[in-house]
Amino acid sequence: HSALTQPASVSGSPGQSITISCTGTSSDVGRYNYVSWFQQHPGKVPKLLIYDVTNRPSGVSNRFSGSKSGNTASLTISGLQAEDEADYYCSSYTSISTRVFGGGTKLTVL
């Protein structure tokens, strides 16, 4: 299972919405509803934003939402804020009972 494919970078202005894609295969993203999204600020520990494609842990802003279509999962951030500037990673369960991460996406808030 190769790493999931994410865009290297995305950007947006405060208040806008952005979407980060995460493309896998029919053996991971496409097969299971076990996609998670993480936010990581520089020098910090990753933080879980979304699990099981669409669910937000307690305490995570409802500006973050997840979805999936076929082999591609997506993270949407609405009402972009300066504090959202960070790296974002997706992860999926796989058909060989492992997990795989995406390469990461750097979000710049203009």
Partner 1 sequence: QVQLQESGPGLVKPSGTLSLTCTVSGGSVSSDNWWTWVRQPPGKGLEWIGEIHHGGSTNYSPSLKSRVTISVDKSKNQFSLNLNSVTAADTAVYYCAPSGMDFWGQGTLVTVSS
| Per-position x/- string for 17-56, each x denoting binding to partner 1 as judged by CB under 8 A, each - no binding | -------------------x-x-x----xx-x--x-----
Does 59 participate in binding partner 1 (rule CB under 8 A)? no
First CA to last CA distance, the chain: 35
Binding site for partner 1 (CB under 8 A): 1, 3, 36, 38, 40, 45-46, 48, 51, 57, 87, 89, 91, 96-104
